[in-house]
Amino acid sequence: MSRTSALWQEHGVVMRAATDLNRSVPEVGALWSHAAEVFIEAITRILHRAGVPEGDAPHAAGPRQSPVLDDRANLLPCLAGW
């Protein structure tokens, strides 16, 4: 999260412009979509390492099964691999 925060602080103006223009300028949209996919893939890997089952719907995760997400001490090693 600190890396994401640093990116927004350093490049926030450009990133905000990208979010505003991504639907009207095809080149910006393609770059923005690629950037989003990079973050989605990284977050997905973190969640898998934390024990969250695969699935793309809210019900796919089922009931709270992974205490690792409730415990910062256990979650931080998962984030460190990001």
Contacts of 3 (CB under 8 A, 6+ apart): 82
Is the pTM higher than 0.75? The answer reads: no
pLDDT for residue 82: 46
Contacts of 74 (CB under 8 A, 6+ apart): 50, 67, 68
Give the tens place of pLDDT for each residue, 39-80.
Answer: 888 888 888 888 887 777 666 666 655 444 555 555 555 555
